[in-house]
Amino acid sequence: MKNNRVLLGMSGGVDSSVSALLLKNQGYEVVGITMLLCYGEDEEAIKDAKKICEKLNIEHYVYDLQKEFKENVIDDFIKKYESCLTPNPCIKCNKYMKFGYMYKKAKELNCEYIATGHYARVEYSKEYNRYVIKKSNVGKKDQTYVLYSIPSDLLSHIIFPLSEFSSKDEIRKIAQENGLITANKPDSQEICFVPNNDYVTFLERHNIQGMKYGKIVNINGEVLGKHKGLHRYTIGQRRGMGISSSTPLYVLKLNKEKNELIVGKEEELYTDTVYANETNCILFDNFKDKMEVQAKVRYSAEPKDAIIYLNKDNTLTVKFKEKVRAVTPGQAIVFYIGDILVGGGMIFTK
């Protein structure tokens, strides 16, 4: 028999603060958890989370998960860049930390549910006879893109308290009306463990492999200049290469074997074929061959019509009806049917 105890991830921000308030008002027995992932920057967040929990009279626990976070998220981030991939660490964090270790802690604390301040919806679908993740109502702030890696069997234990809101302003207004100290707190930076979002300096401090100068070439192999290390560049980048041309040039590919930065015209950035591995299907037990979906190749992209083809090695080939721009190895390709999240995978090149 299910209980009504819910373990809520408390980041010390306005989203999780309002989530705690909403859950309590809905009759849940709320338990707050703050995961210490990066020492230093988390101290203020922990203080704010504790104050919110004290105000709402709910339990609060702090767990030091720096070791687990480093092993599962930071080390993977560095390894991907060493392989000339451009990763999205939030996806790994959601899989291993927020819906991995956190669910493990929930069971230890006798909590039936876990909750986070993500902008997404979980509901039971009669059509698919299972729990599904749906896009939220907040448009560009929808976060389903970074949730595709969650195990499907967890969905019946997940609550997204902010699922029905249509703007961040509504969340802040609720916080202000209820005297929550986080009401006007700025949104957190994109990558929590990278100071000032300066990933280049972060990688160089960790002395990653492959930080060598090399050639900048076009698709015909003609040398146009020198690059300062492939970790500094990503697909679609135009500025910061230190080369001049009569037509704008963009990064097309990072060639790790030759340590070359390959550049070309904008029209050469477009493709209708994308390959994916490290896949996870939420809507079905497995991906289906020739499945028609809408797919997006980056967080901010609009979903485009595509067909998924299954390969013998369990990777996916995705054919878009219209070409998509700047497909980036290491980023996620995520699939939808309407507003329902199907699943996704990591983009790679053949």
Whether 192 is a known active-site residue: answer: yes
Query: DSSP H helical segments within the chain, as ranges?
Result: 14-25, 42-56, 66-69, 75-82, 89-93, 102-108, 168-177, 199-205
Task: Give me the catalytic one of 84, 90, 192, 281.
Answer: 192
Q: What are phi and psi of 69, to 5 degrees?
A: -65, -40
- Hey, how many other C-beta atoms are within 10 angstroms of the C-beta on 297? 23
Q: Cβ(132)–Cβ(177) under 8 Å?
A: no
Task: Give me the catalytic one of 53, 84, 90, 93.
Answer: 93
Whether 281 is a known active-site residue: answer: no
* HEC profile of 89-103: HHHHHHHHHHHHHHH
**Alpha-carbon separation of residue 214 from 208, 217, 228, 328 (angstroms):** 16, 10, 7, 20
Residue 114 is which amino acid? I
Dihedral (CA of 143, 148, 149, 150) sign? positive
Catalytic site positions = 93, 192
